[in-house]
Structure 1
Amino acid sequence: MKYLNYILIIIGAFVAMYAKVDADQNKYLLIAGIVMLMIGVYRISKTIPSRNDNENDQNSDV
């Protein structure tokens, strides 16, 4: 599942760049690329622990 997030980010970035190359942009293709990119970034960010949780754990040990 971890690799799915990276694949979503890469495909979303390529689709968003491809949609922007043309003079008459395909807005729906650009939106789809950005949505895929943001879903991948969101799913990765859910796995990163919060800095506040880390500080609270250290303060409770004192």
Structure 2
Amino acid sequence: MKYFNYILIVIGAIVALYSKAGTEQNQYVLIGGIVVLMIGIYRISRNIPSKNDEDNTQDTSEEE
């Protein structure tokens, strides 16, 4: 499933760059590529723990 997120990011970036490369820019393709890119980034960032949450758990264990 992790690789699926990376594939989404790569496909979104390629589609966004492809739509920008032509002389007549297709805005719907550009928007679609950016949406796919953002979905991939969001899905990856969901699994990264917050730095603040990590600090809070260390502080509470030190106080006990």
TM-score computed with the length of structure 1 as normaliser: 0.97
Please name the residue that 1:54 is paired with: 54
Instruction: Could you tell me which runs of 5 or more consecutive residues in structure 1 were left unpaired when the two chains were aligned.
Output: none
Aligned residues: 62
Instruction: Could you tell me which runs of 5 or more consecutive residues in structure 2 were left unpaired when the two chains were aligned.
Output: none
Identity of aligned residues (%): 61
Structure whose CA Rg is larger: 2
Q: Deviation above 6 Å: which 4+ runs of structure 1?
A: none
Counterpart of 1:61, as a letter, is S
Q: Distance in 2 between matches of 1:8 and 1:41?
A: 8
Q: Distance in 2 between matches of 1:28 and 1:3?
A: 26
Distance apart, 1:21 and its partner CA: 0.4
Q: Distance in 2 between matches of 1:5 and 1:32?
A: 16
TM-score computed with the length of structure 2 as normaliser: 0.94
